[in-house]
């Protein structure tokens, strides 16, 4: 068994225009002062990283790593959630997702998709230059609008959609294969990869591509009422990244999983700061340790009521206290005997 690395923090929700949150060094110093030893970097935020330069220049990456090392921080992974979303967008969502793209490709879905694919190609090389082993993204979605089958889905629609999704992602997956980096899809509502079954559909559509893996985030499973502990038992070999995020689900007589178009504060399913929700993190850390999870525990803060600063302050000790220092020996070794075939046969009554 292996000891999970951490605590780390995903910087996306904390970047801002005011110091110390407006530069990578500033926000990393802030994180280190709170007790974090790793950061996950959003590659769409130019205040944190120049993704194209990172892909083209290992020298740039070495300089960034050196500055952060002086602070006591490691880069855990790079994130391309927003760019990955744009690899596959149904036209109904064009206006909403255009904000994730630069001005020059907005209102032009073909150009926007090409830009997104190039961003993922940059992310593969940048991850290699930083010496990382995994990268996180979203799958995008072609048939999320058909998630509830009314009207009835035409026969073959789902298979065709996943074939198309795989077709778009295979060149990217091959680029990650070339540099030896696992591509982890965050299993997330709004994406065509939003639960275990859809992950399996995509895996099959890519002919079980070796770089298809997942980021595990139990909060999204709480909101779907999916068994997030059994999910680890089923998919542990694919779990290469872990967002430590809490959530609660409190159904009532007026709303359930779909939430009634309500804002986050009024929804039955809500994200919470660590320790304020319903997620059984002791069991999660136990299972991941049991299955030799060899990655980081990364705080992703999202909460409808608590400030990000308080959530971050509380998050580092919460994660640190849940990381299990795995044992190197069996607890009853003191009472054990050595290997002896003759004794074993005697115990079995064979001699």
Domain boundaries, the chain: 5-347
**What is the crossing angle of helices 281-290 and 228-235, to 10°?**
10
Of 296, 268, 295, 285, residue with least CA distance to 326: 285
User: With 70 as the cut, is the pLDDT of residue 332 above it?
Assistant: no
Give the model confidence (pLDDT) of 190-228 as tens digits. 999 999 999 999 999 999 999 999 999 999 999 999 999
Comparing 289 with 338, the larger pLDDT belongs to: 289
Query: How does the average pLDDT of the chain come out, rounded?
Result: 96
Residue 341 confidence (pLDDT): 87
User: With 70 as the cut, is the pLDDT of residue 335 above it?
Assistant: no
Decide: helix, strand or coil at residue 213. strand
Segment holding 244, helix H or strand E: strand 239-244
Cα–Cα distance between 121 and 49 in angstroms, integer?
15
User: With 80 as the cut, is the pLDDT of residue 330 above it?
Assistant: no
User: With 70 as the cut, is the pLDDT of residue 265 above it?
Assistant: yes
pLDDT mean over 77-95: 98
Of 282, 271, 320, residue with least CA distance to 13: 271
Where does the pLDDT of residue 119 fall: very low under 50, low under 70, confident under 90, or very high at 90 and above? very high
SS3 content of the chain, % helix, strand, coil (to 5): 45, 15, 40
Tokens coding 272: 């919470």
Cis peptide before 7 (omega within 30 of 0): yes
What are the b/e assignments for 131-168, b being 16+ CB within 10 Å?
Answer: ebebbbbbbbbbbbebeeeeeeeeeeebeebbeebbeb
Cβ proximity of 243 and 293 under 8 Å = no
209: phi then psi, degrees, rounded to nearest 5: -60, 135
Range of weakest confidence among 117-121, 177-181, 327-331? 327-331
Residue 339 confidence (pLDDT): 75
Cβ proximity of 318 and 272 under 8 Å = no
Give the model confidence (pLDDT) of 136-172 as tens digits. 999 999 999 999 999 999 999 999 999 999 999 999 9
Conformational region of residue 228, where left means phi above 0, alpha means psi within -120 to 50, and beta covers everything else: alpha
Where does the pLDDT of residue 276 fall: very low under 50, low under 70, confident under 90, or very high at 90 and above? very high
pLDDT mean over 100-112: 98
DSSP classification of residue 15 = -
DSSP classification of residue 179 = H
pLDDT mean over 255-269: 96
Tokens coding 249: 């689900």
Residue 347 confidence (pLDDT): 86
Sequence-separated (6 or more) residues with CB below 8 Å from residue 77: 40, 41, 127, 132, 134, 135, 136, 184, 241, 296, 298
User: With 70 as the cut, is the pLDDT of residue 331 above it?
Assistant: no
Cβ proximity of 129 and 54 under 8 Å = yes
> Length of the chain, please?
351
DSSP letters, 17-85, are SSTTTTSHHHHHHHHHHHT--EEEEETT-TTT--HHHHHH-HHHHHHHHHHHHHHT-EEEEEEEHHHHH
Cα–Cα distance between 280 and 268 in angstroms, integer?
18
Give the bridge partners for 213, in sequence order. Answer: 184
Cβ proximity of 284 and 232 under 8 Å = yes
Residue 77 confidence (pLDDT): 98
pTM equals 0.95
pLDDT mean over 44-63: 98
Asked if CATH classification 3.20.20.150 holds for the domain at 5-347, the reply, yes or no, is yes
User: With 90 as the cut, is the pLDDT of residue 256 above it?
Assistant: yes
């Amino acid at each position: 068994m292996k000891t999970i690395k951490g605590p780390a923090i995903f910087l996306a929700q904390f970047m801002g225009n005011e110091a110390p949150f407006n530069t990578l060094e500033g926000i990393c110093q802030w994180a280190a002062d709170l007790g974090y030893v790793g950061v996950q970097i959003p590659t769409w935020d130019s205040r944190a990283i120049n993704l194209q330069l990172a892909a083209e220049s290992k020298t740039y990456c070495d300089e960034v790593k050196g500055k952060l090392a002086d602070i006591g921080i490691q880069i855990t992974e790079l994130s391309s959630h927003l760019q990955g979303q744009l690899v596959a967008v149904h036209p109904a969502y064009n206006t909403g997702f255009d904000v994730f793209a630069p001005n020059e490709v907005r209102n032009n879905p073909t150009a926007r998709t090409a830009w997104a694919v190039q961003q993922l190609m940059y992310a593969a090389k940048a991850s290699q230059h930083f010496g990382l082993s995994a990268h996180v993204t979203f799958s995008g979605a072609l048939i999320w609008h058909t998630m509830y089958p009314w009207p009835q889905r035409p026969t073959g629609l789902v298979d065709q959609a996943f074939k198309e999704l795989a077709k778009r992602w295979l060149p990217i997956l091959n680029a990650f294969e070339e540099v030896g980096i696992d591509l982890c899809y965050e299993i997330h509502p709004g994406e065509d990869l939003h639960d275990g079954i859809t992950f399996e559909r995509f895996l099959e559509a890519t002919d079980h591509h070796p770089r298809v893996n997942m980021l595990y985030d139990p909060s999204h499973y709480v909101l779907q009422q999916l068994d997030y502990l059994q999910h680890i038992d089923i998919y542990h070999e694919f779990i290469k990244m872990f967002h430590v995020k809490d959530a609660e689900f409190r159904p009532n007589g007026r709303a359930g999983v779909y939430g009634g178009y309500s804002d986050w504060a009024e929804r039955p399913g809500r994200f919470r700061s660590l320790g304020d929700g319903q997620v059984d993190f002791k069991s999660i850390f136990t299972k991941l340790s049991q299955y030799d999870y060899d990655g980081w525990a990364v705080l992703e803060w999202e909460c409808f009521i608590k400030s990000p600063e308080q959530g971050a302050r509380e998050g580092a000790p919460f994660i640190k206290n849940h990381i299990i220092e795995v044992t190197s020996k069996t607890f009853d070794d003191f009472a054990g005997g050595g290997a002896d075939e003759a004794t074993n046969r005697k115990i079995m009554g064979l001699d």
